[in-house]
Structure 1
Amino acid sequence: MVNVKQKSNKSLIQQLILQKQNQFTGQMLIQAPSDMQWTLHFRAGYLVWATGGKHVVRRLYRHISKQCPQIEFEMLAIRDDDDRECGWDYQVLTILLCRQSISKQDGKEIVFRLVSEVLFDILQYHQFIEFLTYDYHKFQDLSEAVTGVLTLIDVEKITLKTLGNWKAWQKANLGFFLLHLAPVLSDLKVLKRKTSPRTYKNLVKLIDGKRTLRELANVMKKEEMVVVRSLFPLIQKGLVRLVELPDLPRPQPPVKSVRTRSSDLIKNRHLIACVDDSRQIGWQLQKILKKSGYRLIKIQDPLRALFTVVESKPNLIFLDLMMPVVNGYELCTQLRRVSELHQTPIIILTSQDGIVDRVRAKLHGASGFMSKPIREEKVLSAIEKYLSSPPSTTAGSTAAIETLPPSR
């Protein structure tokens, strides 16, 4: 493998065309001064894959779920030894194809759209800085390169599409909107006063600060430009602001439980329920609770929460305050009306940590109040406070994590 590093003000498109002409095989590492980095994989002048930048996990799942709605987030889990040099995200797609979870045509569509998105992000980022650093890792042998089992992308075809998309954003004066940012409602009272009841209801339902602009467009089944244009006036008025979101953690394959003589060992551990439409919160709690010996049931659909909680009878409930359709206060009241849940501790999760919110939570029957972002010490402290005895644990045994996917 030969490494060549150069600092260039050549456009990305020029760099891509040059690699096609040279029938380049290897990796192009693109580095920005702010430590933002992308990696493009080539085989004989064709693009095979692109990764890096912001939100590798969110990006992959968004494109997969759009093309193949039957794929659940947990199906993206692969073993560490499956993570090859082409990157975790490409390997996930390859394994899904091998398992016949996605078709070859679906794989081609996902790769083309995802690579085009990465190129768009690089073009957009380049407008803010003068230079990008290009680091070429050239492979002398094709056997070293990614095989392109999913598809080989013609450079001119994808650059034509991506460049046309980027120029359309520039023409609409929207090129400065970074699509990995998440819209957040700033002032609900002013927003309610300045919008129609229907518009206000839709905004509160859809904009919860947990979805990026791209994810919001995906949920609304609209073009990204249409969504950004509709939000632009509200952003200018300060009623909507854009914030950074962390990427989702990579899903991990389930750990096989060690068989024990006592079949009741798992059952005797406390069961915790998490009612939150945010997949990220569910995975954070899973990571915390699993190693501490608790079972967890994750409920992302608030409309199914009441039935599922009554059916599973958890020992403690973490309940998100801001959810679409049904908010945490309403759901807490409904849960307390069930006789079997009168004494079950319910802890409200929210980023609105004010005295009024705490009082409202108590009036609706909540046992406690926990501000986001969640931290391991806060979660375990709350569980120990409200549950009389901690779960029993045995060396070598593994806690069960129960997951309830959202309805479709």
Structure 2
Amino acid sequence: MQGNLNEIDICSILQLIELGQRTGQLWVRASSSHHHNKLGGEGASIYRPKQESWFVFFLNGQIIYCQEGESSLSRINDYLRHYRVETRLTDKQIASLLPTDAPEYAYLWALLERNIINPKIAGSIIQGLVHETLFDLLSLCQGNFIFHQGVALAPQLNTFEIAPFVAKITKQLQEWKQLYPHIQSPEQLPVLSDKVQLQSSLPEATVNRLQHWADGKTSLRQLARYLNRDILTVAKAIYPYVQQSWLQLVYLETDKLDTHTDTWELQGKPKGRIVCIDDAIAIGETINSILQPQGYEAIALSDPLEALSLVFQLKPDLILCDIAMSKLEGHEVCAMLRHSTAFRLTPIIMLTGKDGFIDRVKARMVGATDYLTKPFTDTELLMLVEKYINNQ
């Protein structure tokens, strides 16, 4: 069994495996946005897709284990930190596990066999890893999959029924969507942005805990592992502080964005910072090639969900946003930005390939400032940008 997630979703695939009581492994591959620097010219920052993959192992229609494609073992080490397990395998012992089909799973069993952890801890870690992997998989809309029927992963510590997991995580994903635009990804890293306000509004113990975890180096997902909580619980706990702008959520790559800013400051302050949100990378590159020679700083973001977080850090003078995007429509992006006081007055220009009356009406209804039809000329783009940046 194999195919495309545009044709059949992960939930349906899991149901088929459960109903057929299949044994084997499911491999899923999908693209996610990844930051690369200085593409499309100096001062441009573009998010390009990288490939991610996951493996899910089954026995008679039940899940044995889930593993990320990279198999770095860091996930398990994060859980071991929660259980205060200090002893680890030697590099030589770890190297012997890597050629196996599931090195993470082999690593857990090696810890068990050496009495470094007990079966209860191992079972809890496995359940946590299955939960977080399914959370990622069930949120996918695009990608490819292959189910290979074969011998089960062995030995088995425990197995999990699919239906209860899917029902629970589906409900969590619905709640997770309510946290947009403030929280979008488990890979975001919390950072203290207003310590003074935190100290004046919260108990000292709470501030100390936030200061300990919000170090800009620990992702929400790592926090969930350290605390042995699911990602939604952690996200909801910090949501009020993010909403108040006392905490800021960043991506690991944002240090590169800071490098861009420094570069521009050395060269002389640009006329304005313009963010383009469009999942067509070529559009971002085109816009940069037009604006950068005119003295503007252009930053292209190809993932609308990540863009919703990054614009809070970038504080653009103007936003260009495509209407038709696969992950999130431009109308939704615009509406979410307008709900934040930070972007109530920021000019937002909608880009579309359709010159239709309905699109224009929708754009105005969600608070768009203006509208630009693709393909556009250099002059058309520059006139709009100059019109709204000079009027601020």
Q: Counterpart of 2:11 in structure 1: which amino acid?
A: I
C-alpha separation between the residues in 1 aligned to 2:26 and 2:134? Answer: 12
**Are 1:59 and 2:75 counterparts?**
yes
Secondary structure at 1:150's aligned position in 2? coil
C-alpha separation between the residues in 1 aligned to 2:182 and 2:194? Answer: 26
| Shift of residue 196, structure 1, vs aligned partner | 6.6
Secondary structure at 2:96's aligned position in 1? helix
**Are 1:135 and 2:143 counterparts?**
no
Does the Cα contact within 8 Å between 2:191 and 2:250 map onto a contact in 1? Answer: yes
C-alpha separation between the residues in 2 aligned to 1:194 and 1:55? Answer: 42
Secondary structure at 2:127's aligned position in 1? helix
Does the Cα contact within 8 Å between 2:79 and 2:225 map onto a contact in 1? Answer: no
Distance of aligned partners of 1:56 and 1:169 in 2 relative to their CA distance in 1, 3 Å threshold: farther
C-alpha separation between the residues in 2 aligned to 1:7 and 1:223? Answer: 25
Does the Cα contact within 8 Å between 2:97 and 2:106 map onto a contact in 1? Answer: yes
C-alpha separation between the residues in 2 aligned to 1:236 and 1:131? Answer: 30
| Structure 1 unmatched ranges of 5 or more | 247-408
| Shift of residue 56, structure 1, vs aligned partner | 5.2
From 164, 184, 189, the equivalent of 1:182 is: 189
Secondary structure at 2:236's aligned position in 1? helix
| Shift of residue 95, structure 1, vs aligned partner | 0.9
| Shift of residue 147, structure 1, vs aligned partner | 1.8
Residue 388 of structure 1 aligns with which residue? none
**Are 1:228 and 2:235 counterparts?**
yes
Aligned length: 234
Q: Counterpart of 2:238 in structure 1: which amino acid?
A: L
| Shift of residue 149, structure 1, vs aligned partner | 2.2
Does the Cα contact within 8 Å between 1:183 and 1:211 map onto a contact in 2? Answer: yes
Secondary structure at 1:86's aligned position in 2? coil
| TM-score after normalising by structure 2 | 0.50
Range moving further from structure 2, 193-202 or 182-191? 193-202
**Are 1:71 and 2:85 counterparts?**
yes
C-alpha separation between the residues in 1 aligned to 2:228 and 2:157? Answer: 26
Distance of aligned partners of 1:195 and 1:152 in 2 relative to their CA distance in 1, 3 Å threshold: closer
From 205, 208, 220, the equivalent of 2:215 is: 208
Q: Counterpart of 2:185 in structure 1: which amino acid?
A: L
From 104, 123, 132, the equivalent of 2:119 is: 104
Residue 362 of structure 2 aligns with which residue? none
| Shift of residue 181, structure 1, vs aligned partner | 2.0
Residue 15 of structure 2 aligns with which residue? 17
**Are 1:46 and 2:57 counterparts?**
no
C-alpha separation between the residues in 2 aligned to 1:123 and 1:152? Answer: 19
Does the Cα contact within 8 Å between 1:182 and 1:212 map onto a contact in 2? Answer: yes
Q: Counterpart of 1:33 in structure 2: which amino acid?
A: S
Distance of aligned partners of 1:234 and 1:63 in 2 relative to their CA distance in 1, 3 Å threshold: same
Equivalences for residues 8-407 of structure 1 within 5 A: 8-34=6-32, 35-52=51-68, 57-66=73-82, 69-72=83-86, 74-75=88-89, 78-124=93-139, 126=140, 130-139=141-150, 142=151, 145-170=152-177, 177-188=184-195, 200-217=207-224, 224-245=231-252
C-alpha separation between the residues in 2 aligned to 1:184 and 1:217? Answer: 16
| Shift of residue 47, structure 1, vs aligned partner | 1.4
Does the Cα contact within 8 Å between 2:198 and 2:207 map onto a contact in 1? Answer: yes
| Shift of residue 33, structure 1, vs aligned partner | 2.7
Does the Cα contact within 8 Å between 2:182 and 2:239 map onto a contact in 1? Answer: no
| Shift of residue 60, structure 1, vs aligned partner | 1.6
Does the Cα contact within 8 Å between 1:43 and 1:148 map onto a contact in 2? Answer: no
Identity across matched positions, percent = 23
- 1:345-386 per-residue CA deviation (whole Å, 9 max, x = no partner) reads xxxxxxxxxxxxxxxxxxxxxxxxxxxxxxxxxxxxxxxxxx
| TM-score after normalising by structure 1 | 0.48
Distance of aligned partners of 1:54 and 1:184 in 2 relative to their CA distance in 1, 3 Å threshold: farther
| Shift of residue 183, structure 1, vs aligned partner | 0.5
C-alpha separation between the residues in 2 aligned to 1:200 and 1:106? Answer: 30
| Structure 2 unmatched ranges of 5 or more | 33-50, 254-392
Q: Counterpart of 2:235 in structure 1: which amino acid?
A: V
Q: Counterpart of 2:58 in structure 1: which amino acid?
A: F
C-alpha separation between the residues in 1 aligned to 2:156 and 2:216? Answer: 37
| Shift of residue 38, structure 1, vs aligned partner | 1.1
Distance of aligned partners of 1:10 and 1:175 in 2 relative to their CA distance in 1, 3 Å threshold: farther
Residue 399 of structure 1 aligns with which residue? none
C-alpha separation between the residues in 2 aligned to 1:23 and 1:162? Answer: 21
Secondary structure at 1:135's aligned position in 2? strand
